[in-house]
Every structure is written in structure tokens, then in C-alpha cells.
């Protein structure tokens, strides 16, 4: 992956956010699937919820 903009950390974060977007912003699910602590899982769930709400608002406009 040398010379690429993507890092393993960016890929990991992207995968976790994608899971939250697809399965819904469920803190417990994210914590179980990725082994995240509650605070981190909640942060991903909150961010996914905000993105989903923003997408829904844009569809209604």
C-alpha cells in the first residue's frame, strides 16, 4: 500500500462507519462486531445517525 493515500487506520474507520450506515447506528452491534469500547461505538453510531438524517433531508428537498 505504499504510495497510497489510504492507510490501514483510514480503511478500518471507513469499514466501521459503513457498517453503522448499513446496519443502522446501533452502538451495541458496532461494539460487538468490531470489539469497540462503548464510547467509541457510540461516536460511530452518532456520526452515522447524523449522516443518515442529512441524506434523508436532502432527498426531501
For the chain, give every domain's residue range.
12-60
Q: What is the mean pLDDT of the chain?
A: 89
Q: Report how far apart, in Å, the C-alpha atoms of 19 and of each of 1, 4, 22 are.
A: 23, 23, 5
Report helix angle 8-23 to 38-60, nearest 10: 60
pTM for the complete prediction? 0.77
Q: Is the pLDDT of residue 4 over 80?
A: no
The mean pLDDT value for 13-39 works out to 92
In the predicted structure, residue 61 carries a pLDDT above the cut 80: no
Amino acid at each position: 500500500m505504499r504510495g497510497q493515500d489510504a492507510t490501514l487506520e483510514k480503511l478500518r474507520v471507513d469499514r466501521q462507519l459503513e457498517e453503522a450506515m448499513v446496519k443502522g447506528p446501533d452502538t451495541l452491534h458496532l461494539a460487538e462486531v468490531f470489539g469497540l469500547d462503548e464510547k467509541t461505538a457510540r461516536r460511530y453510531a452518532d456520526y452515522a445517525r447524523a449522516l443518515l438524517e442529512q441524506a434523508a433531508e436532502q432527498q426531501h428537498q
